[in-house]
Chains A and B, each alone.
Chain A
């Protein structure tokens, strides 16, 4: 799962400053009401500098269906859904960091590094239960959040099962669509409350996932690597799916323990396919724009989300 975010500029561009402030207040209120035993871990996780791109997506989708003066304030059930999605997102980050053995996130120690795995795992379970509690009797939101958690679990297992296999871009699309794609699909549905923007959300998530893949390779390449963790685990990123079309690179990709020289070859091959990956992401962005144009009442907020996301890899 990926974790990049939004900045103040995009929030201002969407005119959602008040809503994001209100969300921050909801998160604070929830944290204050949690069991004191969990306070330290939860504070650590939720006051760690999230950019709230998923709640922002929910609000933008809501605005794009009920634009202008008709909309009024974001409805309370949409605000609650944004809170719960942020909670569930943080739960996935805690679990991801344990699985990936990540020591740091957002420039600080991960929860399991700071508090140990038991505390991290128990806190992640606490977050899920508390999230459902927040949803109360909102049956639509309960169904959507349940779908999200199930799909994220399936996606992680699928991605791991398919590691180190010579697969195609279509396979990457399927995996990414179930992973980050499902998260943004559900965000769109929670925002539009009708499913009308579900496909848009899926494409935005796919774009987000691909930009993250490319950004990792680009950032690591600048440091002489190429998205090291994913390369060593044989995870099918977008640059990897394009690079392993070369049979020689594909053969290296399937090796469980590449040597340093083989790792360098893989990293270079991934970096060499960045222009193709960027072109592919441009096409996904265009698909998302088409969806926004066809199915939103006011597509402008959705265009802002697309541009913000597309910028993550550049």
Chain B
């Protein structure tokens, strides 16, 4: 592990990119489609962290990697789904127009605007989902590392993971 960054956080960026590549590769592998989810055989994110990384931190960073990579993949798939949903309608309308048939401009414009809106909503929804899931990892890590406090101390942390 000598070629790895000593800082777990610095390792995370590298881990993310490698993990994403593994996910993309797995997603394109027909043999793994039967499992219903992309696999990442041979890719062990925990092993990429520097030696001595506290187990709670390693677990959190591994979770964060998995969540981030899954999010990136899911986002790509969702964009593709939006594209497919609108492709037929938009192509049909443009074909009508090219062939001199009476394409309704209002319908075409509405479809185009709905398509653009859904692209934006897809990004926004995935960002919120990622944020929520990472927030839960962060909360769980904080809980795992929290020192037992004096119950009478009003300043003690009162963490509760939001689920």
Contact = CB atoms under 8 A, between A and B. Distances in A.
A, B: real partners: yes
Interface of A: 65, 166, 168-170, 173, 196, 199, 244-245, 247, 250, 291, 294-295, 297
B6 interface: no
B128 A199 contact: yes
Contacts of B113: 168, 170
B109 interface: yes
B106 A166 contact: yes
23 contacts: A65-B162, A168-B106, A168-B109, A168-B113, A169-B110, A169-B114, A170-B110, A170-B114, A170-B117, A173-B117, A196-B132, A199-B128, A245-B106, A245-B107, A245-B110, A247-B104, A250-B106, A291-B125, A294-B125, A294-B129, A295-B129, A295-B132, A297-B162
A250 B107 CA distance: 12
Interface residues of B, number: 14
B128 A295 contact: yes
Nearest to B104: A245
A243 to B, nearest CB: 11
A244 to B, nearest CB: 8
A65 B132 CA distance: 13
B163 A168 contact: no
Contacts of B162: 65, 297
A297 B106 contact: no
Which of A168, A247, A294 has the most B CB atoms < 10 Å from its CB?
A: A168
A247 B102 CA distance: 11
Contacts of A168: 106, 109-110, 113
Contacts of A199: 125, 128
Interface in B21-37: none
Which of B107, B110, B125, B129 has the most A CB atoms < 10 Å from its CB?
A: B110
Contacts of B107: 245
A169 B125 CA distance: 22
Contacts of B129: 294-295
B80 to A, nearest CB: 17
Nearest to A65: B162
Interface string B141-162: 0000000000000000000001
Nearest to A290: B125
Contacts of A173: 117
Contacts of B106: 166, 168, 244-245, 250
Nearest to A244: B106
Given A168-B109, A295-B132, 10 more contacts: A168-B106, A168-B113, A169-B110, A170-B113, A173-B117, A244-B106, A245-B106, A247-B104, A291-B125, A294-B125
A11 B60 CA distance: 41
Interface string B87-123: 0000000000000000010110110011001000000
Which of B117, B128, B129 has the most A CB atoms < 10 Å from its CB?
A: B128
Contacts of A297: 162-163
A257 B74 CA distance: 51
Nearest to B107: A245
A31 to B, nearest CB: 37
A255 B83 CA distance: 37
Contacts of A169: 110, 114
Nearest to A291: B125
Which of B104, B106, B129 has the most A CB atoms < 10 Å from its CB?
A: B106
Nearest to B129: A294
A48 B1 CA distance: 73
A245 B102 CA distance: 12
Nearest to A170: B113
A166 B105 CA distance: 11
A168 B108 CA distance: 10
A278 B117 CA distance: 21
Contacts of A170: 110, 113-114, 117
A145 B138 CA distance: 31
Contacts of B128: 199, 295
Contacts of B104: 245, 247
A39 to B, nearest CB: 44
Contacts of B132: 196, 295
A196 B132 CA distance: 9
Nearest to A297: B163
A166 B107 CA distance: 11
